[in-house]
């Protein structure tokens, strides 16, 4: 019986985290981006790419919203927006 409640609790926590992650999104401000490529180099999932003088999200599904790009951007041109 206790195991049932523990499993329910774990599943509840995981579902809350999934909903929380779904409310977040990566925002790139092309006006501030100087295309230095630091965020592209540090992205652990290679979700960012340099194109035509700015950074774009190449594979949206592969972005895990870890925030490394946001921490490394010297111009604050990329950030994670949460509701």
> Tens of pLDDT along the chain (83 residues)?
677 667 766 776 666 555 555 688 999 999 999 999 999 999 999 999 999 889 999 877 889 999 999 999 999 999 999 87
Structural domain includes residue 14: no
* pLDDT (0 to 100) of residue 32: 95
Structural domain includes residue 58: yes
**Nearest partner of 21 among 73, 72, 63, judged by Cα:** 63
Looking up residue 33, the CATH number of its domain turns out to be: 3.30.70.20
Which residue range(s) make up the domain with 46? 25-82
**Domain count across the chain:** 1
User: pTM score, two decimals?
Assistant: 0.69
Cα 18 to Cα 65: distance, rounded to the nearest angstrom: 12
Dihedral angle, C-alpha 62, 65, 68, 70, nearest 10 °: 120
């Amino acid at each position: 019986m206790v195991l049932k409640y523990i499993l329910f609790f774990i599943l509840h926590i995981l579902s809350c985290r999934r909903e929380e992650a779904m409310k977040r999104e990566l925002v790139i401000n092309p006006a501030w981006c100087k295309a230095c490529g630091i965020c592209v180099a540090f992205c652990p999932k290679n979700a960012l790419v340099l194109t035509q003088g700015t950074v774009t999200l190449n594979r949206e599904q592969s972005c895990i919203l870890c925030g490394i790009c946001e921490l490394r951007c010297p111009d604050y041109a990329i950030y994670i927006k949460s509701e």
